[in-house]
Amino acid sequence: MLSRDVIIQALLVQAVILLVPPIIYLLYTKNPRLIGITRENMFSNILIGLTAGIPLAMFSISIDKLGFENQIAIELSKKLGVIDIFFLNIFMVAPSEELLFRGLLQPKIGLIPASLLFGLVHWFGYFNIPQVVGATFLGLMLGLLFEWNKNIVTPIIAHATTNILSMVFMKTF
């Protein structure tokens, strides 16, 4: 069994690895708007992200309840406190994944390929096909949010909301 500290360290390493390509790209282009970083309509983008994250969390929870449990997320949710879950998702997991898949890759390779890659990368955390299909669907929905308003904040908040609600649900039920 992994300790809380080991889990947090592993998630930190993952976040750093995923953030390297977008940071290099930002340093090269010097234009954060190219990956959707803007301050425009911040409140509405946060609100839209929160609103979109709720049904996406319900979808994620339903996959687990259909018998295709994400054992790693269940283990994480049991080891981590609610505050840990909140901060890890808000400041590490969701921003690093969204900056890479939506901000950097999606404008270059398109919505569908970026969503498929997002799902495939999650194979290494889930090792079960329904969870990977669910991650691909989540990537598609987050990608559509990004396409719709061209601001990375919305999919980051939706992704974090999905993860937080799903993990808190697993922790309590």
How high is the mean pLDDT of the chain? 89
Domain count, the chain: 1
Decide: residue 132, CB within 10 A, 0-12 exposed, 13-18 middle, 19+ buried.
Answer: buried
Calpha distance 133→157 (Å, rounded): 21
Say whether pLDDT at 59 is over 90. yes
Calpha distance 107→146 (Å, rounded): 10
Range of the domain at 151: 42-172
Residue 90: per-residue pLDDT:
92
**Looking at the whole model, is its pTM more than 0.85?**
yes
Position 8 in a domain: no
Q: Which amino acid is at 49?
A: G
Compute the 3-state secondary structure of the chain and give helix, strand, coil in percent, each to the nearest 5.
Answer: 85, 0, 15
Task: Let me know: does 2 contact 78? Beta carbons within 8 Å.
Answer: no
Which of 8, 166, 12, 161 shows the shortest CA–CA distance to 90? 161
Position 18 in a domain: no
80 Rama sector, left if φ>0, alpha if ψ -120 to 50, beta otherwise: beta
Say whether pLDDT at 69 is over 90. no
Position 16 in a domain: no
